[in-house]
């Protein structure tokens, strides 16, 4: 698939990496977290406040969720909402 770039025009690129079923599940989880989880909601709203499009902000939330899950699996931890919220606060200060 082409990038749709010509001169000053910079077209949108499709996101097609990874398995479709997994990507759909992560999208639905991120969409729910965007509404119901205070840390994810704050992260999403900060990105939207910076002028990021909806899809860019959603993909960032999806990636943040995956990074958190990968860290938990790597360290053999269970989910701790207070730790997740504090990580979101630290990252929002950057």
Integer Cα distance of 64 and 84 in angstroms: 10
Task: Count how many domains the chain has.
Answer: 1
Establish if 3 belongs to a structural domain: no
pLDDT at 92 over 90: no
Contact status, residue 87 vs residue 93, Cβ threshold 8 Å: no
Burial class (CB in 10 A: 0-12, 13-18, 19+), 50: exposed
Domain that holds residue 60: 16-92
Establish if 9 belongs to a structural domain: no
Q: 10-42: per-residue pLDDT in tens?
A: 666 666 777 889 899 999 999 999 999 999 999
Establish if 7 belongs to a structural domain: no
Name residues whose C-beta falls within 8 Å of residue 65's C-beta, 6 or more positions apart in sequence.
Answer: 26, 29, 30, 33, 40
User: pTM surpassing 0.85?
Assistant: no
Establish if 42 belongs to a structural domain: yes
Establish if 1 belongs to a structural domain: no
Q: 43-89: per-residue pLDDT in tens?
A: 999 999 999 999 999 999 999 999 999 999 999 999 888 877 776 66
Establish if 55 belongs to a structural domain: yes
Establish if 6 belongs to a structural domain: no
């Amino acid at each position: 698939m082409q990038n749709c770039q010509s001169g000053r025009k910079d077209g949108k690129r499709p996101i097609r990496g990874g398995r479709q079923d997994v990507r759909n599940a992560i999208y639905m989880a991120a969409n729910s977290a965007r509404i119901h989880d205070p840390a994810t909601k704050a992260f999403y709203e900060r990105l939207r406040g910076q002028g990021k499009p909806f899809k860019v902000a959603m993909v960032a939330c999806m990636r943040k969720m995956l990074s958190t899950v990968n860290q938990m699996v790597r360290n053999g931890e269970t989910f701790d909402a207070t730790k997740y919220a504090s990580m979101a606060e630290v990252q929002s200060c950057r």
